[in-house]
Amino acid sequence: MRKLQIDVVELPLARPFAIARGTRTAVTVIRVTLEQEGFIGQGECTPTARYDETPDSVKAMLEAVRTDVESGLSHHDLQHRLPAGSARNVLDCALWRLDATRANQTLWQKSTCSQPESVITAETLSLDTQECMALAAADAVSRGALLLKIKLDRNAILEKVAAIRAAAPHATLIIDANEAWSGLELESLLVALKAFNIAMVEQPLPAGQDHDLKRFKHPIPVCADESCHTRADIAGLRDRYEMINIKLDKCGGLTEALAMVDEARTLNMRIMVGCMLGSSLAMEAALPVAVNAEFVDLDGPIWLAADSSPFLSYSQGHIWL
């Protein structure tokens, strides 16, 4: 018989984190611990208001399946018991870890993914003034960052990118607009951004309102984030996007994320793996997806005032494994 423990934990941030939708100084995560015959499996998710989630709503979904989980629900059967989202993710990852531990395997072995020495991850530049973002970029590259993810809204886009490129002339730059560029002339904006050697732009338009992306050939690859949740979404995005961003909290866990990798490859879509703010417990679960991705954005723990086990090692622009 399994035991399920659900904990709601508030994680203060080391500094404010701002995107086009708002600013945060802390993040609330839900952690699940499964215990079976002395073996432990844990997971972590971050309920997200953008997807109509709250800590209370996610906890209620977990309580609704408690009996099934404690009676032995598998991570395969879980896919049919809960919809894609944070609640399924936290249980799915806990079940993956529990199954791996019971089989005396690592998560890498259980997922049949080869473990590399390290993975290059983006370091996110929080939305701020032009001057502050340039300073943040200079600081990041001075610490060895190789890939910078720039959070932008509609204001001073080119000016901020120019200042960041000047501060980080050799870094790979990607941009995340978080759906904020409605009403802008996208083709000319992307042409202008190409001059700064931008490698990718993520979700410039709101999900469901991104048809303008079909109008022109993109001078920079465009990645679907809020528009892409599960493998069922991918085929319908090929006329608007070149890439998808796989996040465990969106798709509902590692099981679906690995299926999304296979589907994206079948459909010749490029792959990014991203995260919500969270600890190393959440990031580690996404690493088997990261080794299949062109861009990795798993920097959540570096924004926290204090991380949690398994305490991934972040330095010189890498996650060291």
Kindly list the structural domains of the chain, giving each domain's residue range(s) and its CATH number in brackets, ordered by start: 3-105 (3.30.390.10), 118-320 (3.20.20.120)
Task: Say yes or no to pLDDT of 183 above 90.
Answer: yes
Q: Where are the beta strands (DSSP E) in the chain?
A: 3-19, 22-36, 39-45, 118-120, 123-125, 147-151, 172-176, 198-202, 222-224, 243-246, 270-273, 295-296, 313-315, 318-320
Catalytic, out of 151, 160, 194, 214:
151
Q: Is 128 part of any known ligand binding site?
A: no
Q: Is 110 a catalytic residue?
A: no
Does the active-site annotation cover 151? yes
pLDDT digits (tens, 9 = 90+) for 215-260: 999 999 999 999 999 999 999 999 999 999 999 999 999 999 999 9
pLDDT of residue 20: 87
* Tokens encoding 214: 């079909």
Among residues 59, 149, 160, 247, which one is catalytic? Answer: 247
159 labeled binding residue: no
The answer to the question of whether 225 is labelled as a binding residue is yes
Strand partners, 318: 120, 315
Q: What is the pLDDT of residue 1?
A: 84
* DSSP-assigned states of every residue in 36-69: ETTEEEEEEE---GGGT--HHHHHHHHHHTHHHH
